[in-house]
């Protein structure tokens, strides 16, 4: 089924792999059709700088939950750097019991799919319960990596 | 700008103030004081006291890198009153001042994030032993000798603070993994099940399979608090669900 469609939605553990499988079975009947995938166990076990850019390169759109522990703007910057498209589900979406979550996804996933088609690579969105989406602006400030910081300080090398 | 070791990727995603307050189990206002400093008023004059973390943070005072999170663990440990001490903001500020001095003196030798460096443990031990040795290590003397001592080592900070720092560096090293000389993984609990990895899941607490603790806990609570059912939902062992629930409940209760 996946071969028929353009937009490839990639869920992490914000939903179950079983839900992703069910949605994938139904998504090919949608207009426009899309496919639904799940982050593999191998990908869960390695750093995102290794697997996420590769997925992005192949057109996958990550759907994850919005955790306030990390800076959304930094995540948006990461997405922009790697040309990834990321949807962060607001807590009111991701923190529903499983039946309501499934209903919400069945009703709103097509809206996410249509949003994907009309925007450029490297964008991050937050999706709210009413399915309104807002673009998260990447941090304009440079966030040097630990290694880059070390490179600027020759005393440490 | 070229990177000397591309094998250590780093997403660059930082923790929010709320995130750090949750992870350290310390109020947000306290974290801000530790990290960015505070202002005191003495005889009508405002005096700005620096924070322990590097001054570059001034542009983004409420975001924290992984090494900064580790440095704040040291601040928490050092400013926490000892059994023979009374808790007071004066004492906390005195200790904070000592830590700022130590961090400032260590930076030229260890680089940024000195407390998060693998080398800090070694230096920390030297700080303690140097005072006891007839011929202290030259580097340590350079770091902490005021220069007025005619060959005698004079420490800029209380030796007890250094002892405490060195002891904690030993203790914390059991729960850290260093990559390229800097802390990259922190196990917040002794059982080493839940971990924070700077390079995985943007630094969120995760279980061994890589799923985030928060997501597992939320699903567990939302869907009837059934461990096996939650494990089945995520396709992970029940032990990981148990560990996630235990961690999140302990941290939320703090």
CA distance A14 to A66: 9
Chain A residues touching chain B at CB-CB below 8 Å: 13-14, 16-18, 41, 43-50, 65, 67-71, 74-75, 77-78, 94-98, 139, 141, 143-153, 155-157
Contact A151 B2 (CB under 8 A): yes
Between B166 and B147, the more confident residue is B166
CA distance B42 to B59: 27
Q: Which residues in chain A are closer than 8 Å to B19, comparing Cβ atoms?
A: 68-70
B96-140 residue pLDDT tens:
888 888 888 888 878 888 999 988 877 666 665 444 444 545 445
Between B153 and B71, the more confident residue is B71
Contact B16 A45 (CB under 8 A): no
Query: B238 is written with which tokens?
Result: 């029940």
Instruction: For chain A, list residues with pLDDT below 50.
Output: 1-3, 142-157
Mean pLDDT score of chain B: 83
Closest CA to A94 of A108, A114, A113: A108
pLDDT value at B147 more than 80: no
pTM (2 d.p.): 0.86
Q: Which pLDDT value is given to residue A4?
A: 52
Between B123 and B212, the more confident residue is B212
Q: Count H helices and E strands in chain B, helices first.
A: 10, 8
pLDDT value at B142 more than 90: no
CA distance A30 to A60: 18
Q: Which pLDDT value is given to residue B56?
A: 64
Q: Which pLDDT value is given to residue B157?
A: 64
Least confident of A7-11, B68-72, B157-161, B203-207: B157-161
Contact B67 A18 (CB under 8 A): no
Q: Which pLDDT value is given to residue B8?
A: 39
A22-32 residue pLDDT tens:
999 999 888 88
Q: Which pLDDT value is given to residue B110?
A: 83
CA distance A69 to A83: 23
B68-78 residue pLDDT tens:
999 999 999 99
Contact A147 B10 (CB under 8 A): yes
């Amino acid at each position: 089924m996946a071969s028929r469609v353009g937009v490839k939605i990639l869920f992490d553990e914000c939903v179950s792999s079983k839900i992703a499988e069910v949605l994938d079975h139904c998504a090919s009947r949608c207009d426009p059709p899309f496919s639904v995938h799940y982050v593999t166990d191998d990908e869960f076990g390695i750093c995102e700088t290794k697997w996420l850019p590769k997925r992005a390169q192949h057109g996958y759109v990550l759907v994850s939950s919005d955790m306030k522990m990390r800076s959304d703007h930094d995540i948006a910057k990461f997405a922009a750097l790697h040309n990834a498209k990321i949807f962060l589900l607001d807590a009111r979406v991701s923190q529903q019991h499983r039946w309501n979550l499934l209903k919400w996804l069945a009703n709103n996933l097509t809206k996410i799919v249509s949003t994907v088609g009309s925007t450029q690579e490297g964008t991050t969105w937050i999706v709210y319960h009413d399915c309104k989406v807002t673009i998260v602006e990447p941090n304009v400030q440079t966030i040097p990596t630990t290694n880059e910081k070390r490179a600027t300080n020759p005393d440490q090398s | 700008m070229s990177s000397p070791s591309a094998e250590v990727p780093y997403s660059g995603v930082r923790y929010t103030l709320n995130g750090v307050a949750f992870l350290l189990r310390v109020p947000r206002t306290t974290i801000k004081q530790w990290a960015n400093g505070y202002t005191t008023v003495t005889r009508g004059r405002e005096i700005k006291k620096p924070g322990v973390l590097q001054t570059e943070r001034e542009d983004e005072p409420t975001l924290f890198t992984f090494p900064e999170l580790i440095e704040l663990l040291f601040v928490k440990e050092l400013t926490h009153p000892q059994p023979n001490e009374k808790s007071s903001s004066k004492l906390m500020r005195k200790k904070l001042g000592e830590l700022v001095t130590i961090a400032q003196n260590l930076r030229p030798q260890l680089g940024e994030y000195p407390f998060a460096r693998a080398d800090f443990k070694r230096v920390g031990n030297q700080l303690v032993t140097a005072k006891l040795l007839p011929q202290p290590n030259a580097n340590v003397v350079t770091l902490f000798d005021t220069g007025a001592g005619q060959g005698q080592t004079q420490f800029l900070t209380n030796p007890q603070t250094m002892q405490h720092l060195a002891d904690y560096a030993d203790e914390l090293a059991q729960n850290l993994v260093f990559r390229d000389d800097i802390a990259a993984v922190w196990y917040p609990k002794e059982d080493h099940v839940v971990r924070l990895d700077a390079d995985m899941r943007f630094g969120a607490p995760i279980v061994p399979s890589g799923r985030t603790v928060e997501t597992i806990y939320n699903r567990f609570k939302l869907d009837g608090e059934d461990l096996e059912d939650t494990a089945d939902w995520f396709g992970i062992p029940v032990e990981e669900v148990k560990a996630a629930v235990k961690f999140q409940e302990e941290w939320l209760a703090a």
